[in-house]
Every structure is written in structure tokens, then in C-alpha cells.
Amino acid sequence: MVRTVVIVGRPNVGKSTLFNRLIGRRYAIVDDTPGVTRDWREGTGNLAGLEFRIVDTAGLEEAFGDSMQARMRQHTERIVAEADLIIFLYDVRVGITPLDKHFADFLRRCASPIVVVANKCEGRIDAARISEAYTLGLGDPVAISAEHNEGMGDLFSAIFTWIGENEQPEESEREHETPPLQLAIVGRPNVGKSTLINKLIGEERLLTGPEAGLTRDAIAIDWSYNGASLRLVDTAGMRRRTRVSNDLERMSVEDAERAIRYAHVVVLVLDADMMLERQDLSIARQTIEEGRALVIAVNKWDLVTDKKKALAKLKDRLMTSLPQVRGIPFVNISALKGLNLEKLLETVFSIYEAWNRRVPTARLNSWLGAAIEAHPPPMSSGYRIRLRYITQIKVRPPTFAIWATRAKGLPDSYIRYLVNRLRDEFDLEGIPLRFNLRQGHNPYAKDAGN
């Protein structure tokens, strides 16, 4: 069983930097602004071959009531209760603050062992400043610099002391694990993305509230639905780039765009009162250009008064603004009330299957012959264009190559005709398709390029 190591500490002490260091890549957003991390996020940590689940948390603050800071602290306390080991991080340059002492008192009441880590110890840091950590009453401090990769050996020794005997999965077991379906939840700020994921998994895993822009990092959550493995990715709200006002928001949007690139299926969440606005269409086009399968979730549908009019508007916008992918599926939902969420997941799995579909070459060429007979290709410079052969060269998304004479002369309108017939014949509605035209070889032409 892989053990869980949770990093805690007040804001801006370097928790996310240490998290990125332990998982070996830049995953959590790092910025000098205090309180960048709001939802806890997890990854696979590795130190000298010792593998463990590592969790980065929001900065601990002494806040109560229903404020955002109080909700962040409650989320952190929940994951701390599951920890096999707690890393309590503080900034040695600032020293031990009253807030550090306050949360040290809280941690002493936890059942899990605690390792105190003095971060930002690069350069000439006085030993007396490190020894100040003994006032916390949590044991010997470990001096590191997460940013400069110093002191990692000492940190490994401290972690190994507590979780070094856990069983690691065998390589053969890992090889037979089925990769999860990567499902990215995207949309403009405050449309209900985090609420949707919480309702799907049945717990308050992600921070939600009336404040716009709560989510900053792309948070990945492993989940199972009817025996199928999924990795849900909650993303920051994506505004138009002209409205992005600071580096932190820019990094959040880049994180969301990266989630789209690595997704298998993207669920674009819309607010039913403002369906397919300019930014929604921009996100949808980006998803299609990346070749990802797209599902539209119209959230807050229960609040719509004239549902017939709203549906007509949505269908019209899809037809006129996203004509390159005919039949993009949409599901009307209420994330807050759990309306139509099973239907949403069924749609996700259905379009994922189509996105992975491979059509046999024999069936493709039989279809091509019928398509040409029904509507022959036009003339090009006085010569008939001949389509000789078609095959599927990849999936995700389905990509086809057609060999033709005078391929450059084939107009876009005829390619659209072929794409639409292909969708109808092989049930490929709603997913991006790619066509590669390849010039047939003419042995009688001097340059073989006719």
C-alpha cells in the first residue's frame, strides 16, 4: 500500500515548490502571491526510489465562519486526517511566526507523525535560525531549499524513517493497469465546474463558493464509475486573453489549456443563462483544434424558464459557429441538484468510444466508391480528379488519408461532403475528423507530381 505524505504550512512558505520537486516536474502553480493554492492536489512523490502519494495543500490560515480562507482550512484539515506522514513547512528566512505556532499546536493533536522542514535554507543561513524550530515542540527540523534542490537527502532520510517499509507495486502490476479516461472540465469562471465534479464523485473534494475564480490550478482526481477508471481534471475559469490582468491568472489559464491538450474528452460547462458566448466558442474551437472529443454541459438548466427557446438558441449557435464538427453532443444538467449527470457520463463514454474508433480499410474503400458514384469529384484544370484509395492512419481523433490525382485541386466543399458522409456511415458524429490528401503517383509525368 502506498503511503500518503501531506505538506502543510502557512501561505507562501514554499509548499508547492517542494511538491513539484518531490514529483519531479512542474505541476502546481508557483508564484510569490500568497495563497495561490486553494484546493489540495496530489501526485506521486519519489525520493531515491521510495514512492509515495504526496499532497500539496492550501496555506493554513486562522479563519472561521464561511469565508473562503475558512473553507480552505477545512479542506486542508480533512486531508491531514488521512495522512500517514505530515511535513510541516516553514520559511526559515521569516522565522517561526505566531501562526506557525498556532498550527503546530493543532498538528500535535493529530495521530500521524510530523516532520518539521525549514525551507529556503540556501546560502549562509545561521544555525540558530534553524534551531528556532525546536520551539514548535515537533522534533528535529530538516533544513532544505526546495527551489535549489538542497537538503533532499536529509528529507529522504526523515521520510524513510516513517514510511520506508511500505509495499511498492510490482512493475508487472503497473504494466497491466488500464490507463484512465482523461476527462477535463473546462469553461468560463463561475459556471459550476467544481460543483459538477463534487456532485459526480459524491464528496466536497473541491473548494466551491460564490467567489469567481476560486480554482487556480488544474486539479486531477482519480475516480471510478461503473468499473471504468477516470481522471477528472478541474480547471481554472478561462477568460479572454485580453482580460487576463496578471501573471497568476495567465498561468492558471495556461494550466487549463494544458489540461485540454492532454485530455481524451473535454466537457465544456456553460451557464444556461449565457450559452455559447464568445469565450465559450473560443474554448470549443481550441478543443477541436487539439483533436479532443467535446461534450457540452449546459449547467443550471433547472433555472431556465423558456427551455424551448434556450434549446433552439444553443442548436443554432452550434450549427453556425462550429460547423467543422457536426453533431457535437450537449446535455442539459444541474450540477447543484445532480440533474442528468448519469446521462452526461453516458455521453462522455459514447463519444470516447467514437473518438477511438478504427474503420477497416475494406469498408472505407467500399464506402468511398459509393460516395464517388453518388457525387463525382469536380474537374480541375479540365481534368477529372480521381480518388483512388482511402485508409485510416490513426485514431484519437480518427484521421484518414486519401490518395488522389490532382489532390491540390480538390475543393473544400467536396472534402466537407466526404466528411459528412463518413460521419453518417460510420457513426462518427460530434468528434473532430482529419483528412490528409495525398498525391497519387503518375508514372508518365516527368516529375511524378501530376
Query: Considering its fold, how many domains does the chain have in total?
Result: 3
Domain boundary among 116, 149, 173: 173
DSSP 92: T
pLDDT at 109: 87
Residues 163 and 207 in one domain: no
Phi-psi region of 353 (alpha: psi -120 to 50; beta: other; left: phi over 0): alpha
pLDDT at 64: 62
**pTM for this predicted structure:** 0.81
Beta bridge partners of 299: 271
CA angle 351, 352, 357 (to 5 degrees): 95
Residues contacting 324, CB < 8 A, separation 6+: 288, 432
Residue identified by cell 517499509 is 165
Query: Within the chain, which residues score under 70 in pLDDT?
Result: 1, 26-38, 61-66, 68, 124-126, 165-177, 209-216, 240-249, 440-450
pLDDT at 211: 64
Residues contacting 202, CB < 8 A, separation 6+: none
Q: Is the residue at 446 inside a domain?
A: no
Closest CA to 193 of 147, 236, 256, 160: 236
Residues 40 and 137 in one domain: yes
User: Hey, how many other C-beta atoms are within 10 angstroms of the C-beta on 83?
Assistant: 23
Q: Which residue type occupies 65? A: G
Phi-psi region of 24 (alpha: psi -120 to 50; beta: other; left: phi over 0): left
Q: Is the residue at 38 inside a domain?
A: yes
Domain boundary among 173, 203, 236: 173
Residues 348 and 366 in one domain: no
Residues contacting 250, CB < 8 A, separation 6+: 244
Beta bridge partners of 145: 150
Residues 162 and 293 in one domain: no
Q: Is the residue at 303 inside a domain?
A: yes
Residues 311 and 388 in one domain: no
pLDDT at 48: 74
Q: Is the residue at 448 inside a domain?
A: no
Residue identified by cell 442528468 is 340
Domain boundary among 138, 173, 208: 173
Please tell me whether residue 12 adopts helix, strand or coil conformation: coil
Residues 225 and 282 in one domain: yes
User: Hey, how many other C-beta atoms are within 10 angstroms of the C-beta on 224?
Assistant: 10
pLDDT at 449: 44
Count of all residues that appear for the chain in the document: 450
Residues 273 and 390 in one domain: no
Q: Is the residue at 276 inside a domain?
A: yes
User: Could you tell me the residue range of the domain that residue 378 belongs to?
Assistant: 361-439
Phi-psi region of 120 (alpha: psi -120 to 50; beta: other; left: phi over 0): left
User: Hey, how many other C-beta atoms are within 10 angstroms of the C-beta on 259?
Assistant: 23
Closest CA to 274 of 189, 347, 185, 196: 189
pLDDT at 124: 65
User: Hey, how many other C-beta atoms are within 10 angstroms of the C-beta on 223?
Assistant: 18
Could you tell me the CATH number of the domain that includes residue 404? 3.30.300.20
Q: Using the Cα atoms of residue 108, residue 145, residue 33 and residue 247 in order, give the sign of their dihedral.
A: negative
Distance CA 78, CA 63 (A): 15
User: Hey, how many other C-beta atoms are within 10 angstroms of the C-beta on 355?
Assistant: 21
Residues 168 and 205 in one domain: no
Q: Is the residue at 263 inside a domain?
A: yes
Could you tell me the CATH number of the domain that includes residue 310? 3.40.50.300
Closest CA to 213 of 253, 242, 185: 253
Residues 136 and 186 in one domain: no
Residues 206 and 310 in one domain: yes
**17 burial type by CB count under 10 A (0-12 exposed, 13-18 middle, 19+ buried):** buried
**147 burial type by CB count under 10 A (0-12 exposed, 13-18 middle, 19+ buried):** middle
Closest CA to 267 of 174, 189, 331, 314: 331
Q: Is the residue at 450 inside a domain?
A: no
pLDDT at 230: 96
pLDDT at 293: 97
Closest CA to 181 of 430, 431, 352, 398: 352
Establish how many alpha carbons lie within 13 A of residue 393's alpha carbon, considering only the half-sphere containing its beta carbon. Answer: 13
Residues 12 and 130 in one domain: yes
Distance CA 143, CA 154 (A): 8
pLDDT at 131: 87
Pair 422, 400: CB distance under 8 Å: yes
Cell numbers at 279, concatenated: 469565450
Residues 85 and 153 in one domain: yes
Q: Is the residue at 444 inside a domain?
A: no
